[in-house]
Amino acid sequence: MTAQRRQRELQLEQARYEARLAQRQYDSVDPSNRLVASELERRWNEKLERVAQLERAYAQAEDEAQWNLTVEERESIAELSRDLPAIWGAETTTNQDRKQLLRMVIESVQLDGISQAGQIEIQIHWRSGTITSFSVKRSRPGEGSLKTSEEAVSRIHEMAPRSGYKEIAARLNRLGLRSAFGRLFTTQHVGYIVSVRPTPVVSRDL
């Protein structure tokens, strides 16, 4: 595999060299000599097309090489695939990893917001050939906008009279509370909520 890759690299390097040479020949010709200039331009374009073809072939070969797995690697992947929920929820799995997992298993997603009033029909086409269909309620304007949870807002206002913003943010993060965008709290988040969000009204049963 390494030898084949090196051969492809040499072919691409040679093609690029020939394209640069053809360009220099074209640039050096007298523009008034149209016949020669036209022929040199044609040759230059052929060299450029050759480079483009080799670059596409090289990229395709690199993609295919990534899936040329050993028996042990295939067995490891098969074992992992049997426990996808654990992989998805693992602390070491980042959001970028989860997006990559979805791109690998989903072929396409189709949305239909016309057929049923107030509903959005969703079809997920998996790469395995399976199709999952379901519908969700269409959100009204403003509905579902991101907001910091009432619990976090309440705790911030409760601690604000006696604690600094940095201490409050650290306390919220230790409790597992997150901001409206699912991020860790910072002093800026806390200060914004103190100045903008009112203290939640907690109803009590009499």
The model's pLDDT over 77-87, given as tens digits with 9 standing for 90+, comes to: 677 667 777 88
Q: What is the pLDDT of residue 206?
A: 35
State the pTM of this model: 0.34
Intervals of the chain under pLDDT 70: 1-2, 64-69, 73-74, 77, 80-81, 139-146, 198-206
Consecutive H or E run containing 109:
strand 106-112
The 10s digit of each residue's pLDDT in 105-134 is: 888 888 888 888 888 899 999 887 889 998
Cα 71 to the center of its chain, rounded Å: 29
pLDDT of residue 170: 93
pLDDT for 171 equals 92
CA-to-CA dists, residue 196 to 4, 147, 148, 181, 193, angstroms: 63, 12, 12, 17, 5
pLDDT score at 173: 92
